[in-house]
Amino acid sequence: MDKVRIGILFGGGSEEHPVSVKSAREVAKNLDTDKYEVFYIGITKSGAWKLCEDAPDADWETGRCRPVALSPDSSVHGLLILEDGKYETIRLDVVFPVLHGRLGEDGAMQGLLELSGIPYVGCDVQTSALCMDKSLTYLVVGSAGIATPNYWIVTPDRDVDPDRLPYPVFVKPARSGSSFGVSKVTTKEELPGALTAARQYDSKVLIEEAVVASEIGCAVLGDGTELIVGEVDRVALSHGFFRIHQESSPETGSENSTFIVPADIPAKARSLVQETAKLVYRTLGCRGLSRVDLFLKEDGSVVLNEVNTLPGLTSYSRYPRMMAAAGLPLSEVIDRLVALTMTGRLG
């Protein structure tokens, strides 16, 4: 039986570049090379594409790599290796874009993959763009009756009256991830600095009323008709807010958070979280995989926090932990994602 020729895309120009490299490294460890012929395609922070001979490490950009491009010509259905004024083609069966954040998870890469004609793992263009913008996510799920935080949008031509805000609030880029540019604001005097921090990552800023609740996550795998959910987790914070990807050595443990999997919540709440996560997933049109983060309030109700359409897959990430706790190791998750992408079934 021929091996599936899979391209693993990683890196990218967003602030989440290092997280993507770590995620791709973990995917590489869990790929069955008896099933897959693997092509590692790294995108540098400056936007150069390189085909690497090995799985990425911290110094992958200086390793054995060749210039490469993904052809938007669907008749090529793969890569163009560019060397010495010539090119050769590599046909791919499927692409796994292990990319996080801007230009990787926001629909841009998905658009290029649509042009290429190559099946790809994960959400499509429309859903990727929708979920990347938290305010649009809230608008859509809110119309389906799913609770969201109260929020205000701040754009370059639109401001907010600081005296009207119910402090504390969270100020965050509307279209970014991994808590980059996020601040907790307890007084109106702190607001200008928080807006400046958020605007380093996006011109559109979201201000959210703080929700007094536990932070709960749910890993979802599949398409709209057939879904698998992982064990629910709870983020236990000692102080501050969850921002593990910005810490210096998250592999050895977080500075302010621990993950409880399965979450130490009642069975009824667990079921509500999982059913709400599936409803959010279907409402937004997700496919492949996503992590749905929710707030569980003391009264037992849930409020949407955010949706990650390509969640972290690092050794310390939440999505693979939740799936592993449900009996699906990352190797099997990858197999199911590839099968779903290529055949429309989870395998």
Q: Distance of CA 68 to CAs 9, 39, 42, 65, Å?
A: 12, 11, 9, 9
pLDDT at 103 over 70: yes
Question: Is the backbone of residue 178 left (phi > 0), alpha (psi -120 to 50) or beta?
Answer: left
Alpha helices per DSSP H over the chain: 17-29, 108-116, 125-132, 134-143, 191-199, 267-283, 318-325, 330-343
Active site members: 19, 22, 100, 245, 251, 291, 312, 316
d(CA 303, CA 190): 26
Are residues 118 and 95 in contact, defined by beta-carbon separation less than 8 angstroms? yes
pLDDT at 62: 80
The 3-class secondary structure across 43-69, one letter per residue, is: ECCCCCEEEECCCCCCCHHHCCEEEEE
**Confidence class for position 238, pLDDT limits 50, 70, 90:** low
Mean pLDDT of 15-37: 94
Give me the half-sphere count of Cα atoms (radius 13 Å) on the Cβ side of residue 64: 4
pLDDT at 84: 81
pLDDT at 113: 97
d(CA 311, CA 281): 14
CA-nearest of 3, 57, 55, 58 to 29 is 55
Domains and CATH numbers, the chain: 4-120 (3.40.50.20), 129-147+212-343 (3.30.470.20), 151-209 (3.30.1490.20)
Each residue of 45-92: pLDDT tens digit? 999 999 998 899 878 888 789 999 999 999 999 999 988 878 899 999
Mean pLDDT of 288-313: 97
